[in-house]
Chains A and B, each alone.
Chain A
Amino acid sequence: MEHRPIKTDADTRDHLVVIGNGMAGCRAVEELLARDPARYRVTIFGAEPRVNYNRIMLSPVLAGEKSFDDIVINDAEWYAANGIALVAGDPVVAIDRGTKTVTTRGGATESYDRLLIATGSDPFIIPVPGKDLPGVIAFRDMDDVDTMLAAADAGGDAVVIGGGLLGLEAAHGLSLRGMKVTVIHLMPTLMERQLDEAAGWLLKQALEGRGQTILTGADTAEIVGNGKVEGVKLKDGTLIPASLVVMAVGIRPSVALARDAGLAVGRGIQVDDHMVTSDPHVLAVGECVEHDGQVYGLVAPLWDMCRSLADGLVEQPTGYRGSVTSTKLKVSGIDVFSAGDFSGGDGCEDIVLRDASRGVYKRVIVRDDRIVGAVLYGDTADGSWYFDLLKKQEDVSDLRDLLIFGQSFASGGGAADPKAAVAALSDDAEICGCNGVTKGQVVSCIAKGAHSLDAVRGTCKASASCGSCTGLVENLLALTLGDDVQAGPKTMCKCTSFGHDDVRREIVAQAMRSIPEVMQQLHWTTPDGCSSCRPALNYYLLCALPGDYVDDQQSRFVNERMHANIQKDGTYSVVPRMWGGLTNPTELRAIADVVEKFNAPMVKVTGGQRLDIFGIKKEDLPAVWADLNAAGMVSGHAYGKSLRTVKTCVGSEWCRFGTQDSTGLGVKIERMSWGSWMPHKFKIAVSGCPRNCAEATIKDFGIVCVDSGYELHVGGNGGIHVRATDLLCKVATEQEAMDYCAAFIQLYREEARYLERTAPWIERVGVDYVKARIADDPAGREALRARFLVSQSFSQDDPWAQRAEGAEAEHHAPMARFIPQEELA
């Protein structure tokens, strides 16, 4: 992608140049923007020709669980919205600290006031003969993943050198992609830095059970091949054939640029507590730095560093004090956890629990009555509790007998009383890992008046992200308030602890794109949801990311899948659109022809001024649509949670009372809003005078034309509970009436819950709220209207036309026919 640094004469702000468009560099910029978005002009240089993505998620991409788009952290819009210039695909090759400039490989030079180096780390390539052969790669960036996917498509054997986390994830992904995979590991057990021998052995057994070959204690002698890789030879002479070799033996801080620039470099670029290097104008963050003798290769410390760095940049220095790390991982779907020092040795006591049938192994290492390390395999639920005890160096002598059974037992309450376990937690125990909220913070937020789960989520953010700590927060509410806990709004369905509004908020905040992603991130309790949450999620995704979300046909109600209304006998009814209630001889003839040709038993004029053709068989639907399309008619969406109809009266053109052209306006509004999916069905009407012949005051959006302009009415409903509209406001022109209508529709689309019509929605939020958003806020109204039009640019295609051309034809035909007397047709 092409990006040019934004530089105008007017922009005299200090220029912050960031080298590295990865997780650390971008996170540092995010933290900076959160503190003072106007302070610096920012330019980011990235070596890869891509936006910022989550490198940790490359494994799911390789395994086919995610696509590249799923792992983008900040898309092009983020750079644009924050005025950040991104130079992607042209790496910085030199820093001149004298002139305070950086130069790229392409020859561009950029001057800086502050420079941030976030170059991360480079994969370590073991220096054996053949290491440069085509087909030998690292597992570090999206290009590597693309290479692996291409190799997997071609099939064959793969060798992964390195039995650490990265190597095993590469092996898992390639194995899922159908390659025969051998893992070569130098050490006697897998993942020896995270797991002890026993857990490493269990892991090896599990992976071998899945068809991988694991060679431990295996030393690579050379990579063989003529022009491209053909195999790997070990020092004991074994030759393993391979068309792909992945080196995943480790990473090293990427320091060449900093070293060439004369900065102080040890194992990494040396920084102080504020992430400042030996040059006060140059900062560094992430895997490329060395702080207090330590280098880090995990995400958590990196976030700590970015916070300290951003504080320093806006002169609120807090300072980085190093991080104690734990590792909680899923390796090929198996949970593993480790923290601290588990090498054992003098003065250490090991407490071990093995449960072979469950595949669980736990080991806690205690020295002087304090936990110094822990290894968990197969069940990592208590990992954070052990880690908490370890970090605080708490005396565990009282817990010792029960320690290995986990928190609920050791806390004294036993598994039967989860409240006791929560009560036993210390105030600074972490409750919500996503948002870093401690028990003390949750309790104080409850004490200050947050008396429901929803209120806690709204104030201190605990349980507001992935939701896995919801149970803990509920227990804290019960402990703190007893019976005074207020029940929150109902959850979406039994599959989740979240309500509709929470789910919508998280979809937007995390830019989630697909239903499986929402279910994963928000810890759905059912494998694939139910018939009430899936259609709702599909709609919420569609509304949040039009054009970018992944639609799921199987999560749509049958009417929306078949683009027709299912009737009680299993046949369908079909309603073509009649714009503003108008029709003509061609359309009427086409409808009449369809009725005859397909033996439709009934045609009916609907309440919304259209013709409904009943009794069409599922297999005939594509042919019916083709005939109606041929006469210029499109789907009326009478089957969907969407804009149905715009009812009109005849207005000033013919009516002796008509004050405005209500029919013409109705047509225009229908042309603007057709095809839009909504939380529920949505009806519009336009009446040409206060006699209101189109019954606009019982529609979701109604317009009553008067001499001086247009009265806009909202929230009306026929149906079981008849509700007359509220007056939104009065406007002078047709254009305003259209604009207000678009803004109102979008507000409803974005904020109402699925299957909530406008009437109950407005009663819930109050008509004053709607007036404040639409009538009293011109900028907000315009933004809503603009978002509606963007969404419409993706949705105004006639679903009938696509199906008539053969899309999803198989849904209309039986898979097979069974004729009992004869053979299968």
Chain B
Amino acid sequence: MTTPEWLDIGWVDQIPVRGSRTVQVEGGDDIAVFRTAEGKVFALLDRCPHKHGRLSQGIVHGGAVACPLHNWRISLSTGEALGEDKGCTPTVPVKIDGGRVLICRASTLKAAA
């Protein structure tokens, strides 16, 4: 449930497997929430460190997402660019409670600002 620390954003099932949804943050950038094939959920700022591509629109594979603009691969757990590329996207801690997805308020504000 929503607490001062955690923000309830909806059911896990609302995020497609190997896909993503976004959380709109007023006055800031969106947060992209991903669900992997294994059922893990991650949240990142919806901006590729390269040219700010919307990561939420990329192809999710394994524990990474490929940016739709120039195919950089970004680790869902660390936000780091993988392979030869260098760069990092802010991550937002996520937890699942009774099928609901909760994201960390403070990190969301910090990332989206």
Contacts and interface: CB of A to CB of B under 8 A. Distances in A.
A558 B7 CA distance: 28
Interface string B64-86: 00101101010000000000000
A654 interface: no
Interface string A518-558: 00000000111111001100000000000000000111011
Interface string A742-761: 00000000000000000000
A815 interface: yes
Nearest to B57: A558
A434 to B, nearest CB: 26
Interface in A551-582: 553-555, 557-559, 561-562, 566, 568, 570
A817 interface: yes
Interface in B12-28: 14-19, 21-27
A558 B109 contact: no
Interface string B15-44: 111110111111100110100011000000
B73 A570 contact: no
B73 A815 contact: no
A814 B24 contact: yes
B71 A554 contact: no
Given A531-B66, A568-B69, A815-B21, A554 B7 contact: no
Contacts of B14: 810, 815
A528 B37 contact: yes
A63 to B, nearest CB: 17
A820 B25 contact: yes
B53 interface: yes
A554 B59 contact: yes
Given A570-B53, A815-B14, A527 B26 contact: no
B61 A529 contact: yes
A779 interface: no
A559 B7 CA distance: 31
B58 A531 contact: yes
Given A554-B19, A820-B109, A528 B61 contact: yes
Nearest to A569: B52
Nearest to B109: A820
B9 interface: yes
A810 B19 CA distance: 12
A816 B94 CA distance: 14
Contacts of A554: 16-19, 59-60
Contacts of B27: 820
Given A531-B66, A568-B51, A824 B7 contact: yes
A533 to B, nearest CB: 9
Q: Interface residue tally of chain B, by bracket? A: 35 or more
User: Interface centre among B15, B18, B30, B52, by most A CB within 10 Å?
Assistant: B18
B99 interface: no
A772 B68 CA distance: 39
Contacts of B38: 527
B89 interface: no
Contacts of A823: 2
B66 A818 contact: no
Interface string A634-646: 0000000000000
Contacts of A561: 57
Nearest to B9: A816
Contacts of B59: 531, 534-535, 554-555, 557-558
Contact of A817 (B26, B51, B54): B26
Contact of B62 (A528, A557, A824): A528
A811 B21 CA distance: 7
User: Interface centre among A554, A814, A818, A823, by most B CB within 10 Å?
Assistant: A818
Given A815-B9, A815-B10, A816-B9, A526 B62 contact: yes
Nearest to B36: A528
B23 A816 contact: yes
30 contacts: A526-B61, A527-B37, A530-B61, A531-B71, A553-B16, A558-B57, A558-B68, A559-B68, A562-B57, A566-B54, A570-B53, A810-B14, A810-B21, A814-B21, A814-B24, A815-B10, A815-B15, A815-B22, A815-B23, A816-B7, A816-B9, A816-B24, A817-B25, A817-B26, A818-B9, A818-B23, A818-B31, A819-B26, A820-B25, A824-B7
Given A568-B51, A815-B23, 17 more contacts: A526-B61, A528-B62, A531-B59, A553-B16, A558-B57, A558-B59, A558-B68, A566-B57, A566-B68, A814-B30, A815-B15, A816-B9, A816-B24, A817-B23, A817-B25, A819-B26, A820-B25
Please provide the 3 A-B residue pairs with the shortest distance between their CB atoms, ordered closest to farther.
Answer: A531-B66, A815-B21, A816-B9
Interface of B: 2, 7-10, 14-19, 21-27, 30-31, 33, 37-38, 51-54, 57-62, 66, 68-69, 71, 73, 108-109, 112
